[in-house]
Amino acid sequence: MNLLAQIDKENTPNHIAIIMDGNGRWAKKQGQMRLYGHSIGVESVRETLTAAKNIGVKHLTLYAFSTENWNRPKEEIDGLMNLLVHTIANEVDELNRSGVRLLSIGDRAGLPIECQEELASAIEQTSNNTEIDLILALNYSARWEITNAMKQIGQQIQEGKLQPNDISDEIIAQHLTTDGIPDPELLIRTSGECRVSNFLLWQIAYTEFHFTEVLWPDFKEADLYKAVIDYQSRERRFGMVSEQL
Ligand code: FPP
């Protein structure tokens, strides 16, 4: 049956976050270098973004480079940064045509300067688009983000601008790099791994998880729809009992 027809348009997740995993294994299976897997992974990014927009998702967050990824071989890191810079530069016009606003989360200042510049330029050029936000997690780690928020809040207390008792969920959320972006309702991880890997730890308090065996370069429109159908089959109780919903 047509997957799209099975999706309840009234109950589409507003925000989907994805841990794109399995590029290296996909490449190895093809007898290719890991970077080839990443470059084919960009096709999956394009397809997923279009599919998400089709069903009315308003925010799509992709884990493109974690703080831990700096531990990979230099050649792979350089190749990934190069791919990011070129993809962002090549895609800006298409993002504008499709109404996509590009945003990033993570420690942008720790990225290579050309990556920072390309990203800042694309973010600026797409800033008026309203169809969907494409949020790239780059040099991102949730523990870094939370630690950073604590430092900022501590500073405000030291300066007398905030009292310890004023600290609330909202105040903490305002100091995360996701400030202003609603929490994801659905988190997808590809490649059969069932871990969260330091991604959006604060923001996924009530998020539904969907794990799929599909490797990221093979992840297509239909795979996103299957994840959304799975999400829609769940009952989200937020700590309550069924009868209260
Ligand atoms: C995980 O697979 C993938 C990454 C760490 C990088 C993902 C990046 C892209 C798909 C390019 C993104 C580009 C844009 C513009 C968003 P892995 O290398 O960990 O695979 P493995 O677990 O099989 O080794």
Domains of the chain: 12-141+183-230 (3.40.1180.10)
Distance, CA 69 to ligand 1 centroid (Å)?
Answer: 10
**Torsion angle, alpha carbons of 234, 182, 165, 154, to 10:** 120
Q: Report the range of poorest mean pLDDT among 29-43, 71-85, 156-170, 229-243.
A: 229-243
The identity of residue 155, as a single letter, is Q
Summarised one tens digit per residue, pLDDT across range 178-224 is 999 999 999 999 999 999 999 999 999 999 999 999 999 999 999 99
User: What's the mean pLDDT in 17-42?
Assistant: 98
Distance, CA 22 to ligand 1 centroid (Å)?
Answer: 7
**Contact between residue 26 and residue 216 where contact means Cβ atoms under 8 Å apart:** yes
Residues annotated catalytic, as ranges:
21, 69
**Contact between residue 217 and residue 26 where contact means Cβ atoms under 8 Å apart:** yes
Angle value at C-alpha 148, between 144 and 149, nearest 5 degrees: 120
pLDDT of residue 1: 64
Sheet holding 15-19, edge to edge: 100-105, 132-140, 59-66, 15-19, 186-189, 208-211
Burial class (CB in 10 A: 0-12, 13-18, 19+), 90: exposed
User: What's the mean pLDDT in 93-116?
Assistant: 98
Mean of all residue pLDDT scores within the chain: 96
User: What's the mean pLDDT in 236-244?
Assistant: 77
Partners of 138 in beta bridges: 65
Q: Give Rg (Cα) of the chain.
A: 19
Ligand 1 pocket: which of 19, 23, 90, 103 to mutate (most atoms within 8 A of CB):
23
User: What's the mean pLDDT in 165-174?
Assistant: 98
Pairing of the two strands 59-66 and 208-211: unpaired
Distance, CA 241 to ligand 1 centroid (Å)?
Answer: 39
Q: How many CB atoms lie within 10 A of CB 244?
A: 8
Q: Report the range of poorest mean pLDDT among 26-35, 116-125, 154-163, 229-238.
A: 229-238
The single-letter DSSP state of residue 122 is H
* Token output for 69: 């990824």
Whole-angstrom distance, CA of residue 157 vs CA of residue 222? 49
Task: Please report, rounded to a whole number, the percentage of residues in the chain having pLDDT higher than 90.
Answer: 95
pLDDT of 67 above 90:
yes
Task: Please report, rounded to a whole number, the percentage of residues in the chain having pLDDT higher than 70.
Answer: 100
pLDDT of residue 237: 73
**Contact between residue 216 and residue 41 where contact means Cβ atoms under 8 Å apart:** yes
